Structure 1
């Protein structure tokens, strides 16, 4: 694997792990200046970020006037932020008009978003990347086009929901095993809940936190996903199932 493809995998995993970043939009109040604030995001079926924004917010006014935005995601928990991984996505914000499906994905990761929507009506915006810049550490910088960085998620929507419901209803012990094998702190009374799945891993809610667990190798379809989940429950890993 080339260094650039390896860096793209690292950048994508960073997005899937952090699920929060700083969105910058073109300010209407201060023309010519970017306006930034922190907010969570999920990924859509294309692997592109989706944010929930209140209609009364500065971001909504700004994006409706000029859709050009950037989103920076940084590795958390470091003493020296400059040694950490970070990726900046530059693109165009697009309001999602039929948002029921993405809303369920978003609220499964961020249930508090329902409260914010009830308090202040909000909309979901998809960030369609134009180009992305990743820094993996000192002298490790790469530009990415969309085909290199982003991967479609075949388990988005109904297909993924059936897997999630099946695991939560019938395989609670396996979810505990995944958590413990990934060194996630969990008490005997806690039951992890799967909240999302993609080709490279899954998110589990453990108590109030959402934890990312990566697969040993990517999966490509329901059969390879099932094979990997079974192997992980047995503390084994299969041979590579996709390129």
Structure 2
């Protein structure tokens, strides 16, 4: 196994779209792949918003085991790019204000689906994952090894987002989507990007300092 530190975790924050493979009900047992947007939750798990009428939703209700593939291939060369295949269980998630707020930061256009009232959130409990970062950089990990640190809670993250907004007036086109102990997810001129910290950060003061560095580097 040869995986760069935290590479699978960062990839789940870089990709905006993934491939969900559920177990088909008819014909029974066949893989049923579909492409859909997702957002990482505070534990980096893919969170999806799906219609109750969708075939993959019916499949998950019958068998929640699934695979999920995320790829970052900006130049179109998939075989030389990063990808991660997750294996685990998808579970329904209550649409609390915290869940809705986070998902809409990553996918604001999804608000029109929430208005319909037919869409539900699901999050993946990751059991195993296989990361491929190019030739000679690949391997398996247990889901618990993706991130051993306690995640930021909603109030902590919200405070950091507000701090970022107050201190980045000079970068009006820069939006902070999410914060975790390894980096921040940004959107600039409509494009998603990931600002990776030098090291994992455990305390709030250090997170504020890391955000200041992020703002300075994106000032121009």
- Does the alignment reach a TM-score above 0.5? yes
Q: Report the count of equivalent residues.
A: 217
**CA contact 1:154–1:221 (8 Å) conserved in 2:** no
Q: 1:111 to 1:62 in 2, by over 3 A?
A: same
**CA contact 2:13–2:44 (8 Å) conserved in 1:** no
Bigger fraction of residues in strand? 2
* Aligned residue in 2 for 1:78: 75
Deviation at 1:227, TM superposition (A): 2.0
Correspondence for 2:209 among 227, 238, 243? 227
Unpaired runs of 5+ residues, structure 2, are none
Work out the CA distance in 2 between the residues paired with 1:222 and 1:149. Answer: 22
Work out the CA distance in 2 between the residues paired with 1:232 and 1:207. Answer: 16
Name the TM-score, length of structure 2 as normaliser. Answer: 0.88
Worse overlay, 88-97 or 25-34: 25-34
Higher relative contact order (CA 8 A, sep 6+): 2
Please give the residue correspondences for 1:47-62 in structure 2 after superposition, counting only pairs within 5 Å. Answer: 47-62=44-59
Q: Is 2:196 the partner of 1:199? A: no
* Aligned residue in 1 for 2:27: 30
Q: Is 2:72 the partner of 1:90? A: no
**CA contact 1:54–1:120 (8 Å) conserved in 2:** no
Deviation at 1:233, TM superposition (A): 4.5
SS in 1 for 2:127: strand
Work out the CA distance in 2 between the residues paired with 1:110 and 1:153. Answer: 25
Work out the CA distance in 1 between the residues paired with 2:35 and 2:49. Answer: 12
Q: Is 2:97 the partner of 1:100? A: yes
Correspondence for 1:139 among 136, 141, 147? 136
* Aligned residue in 2 for 1:43: 40
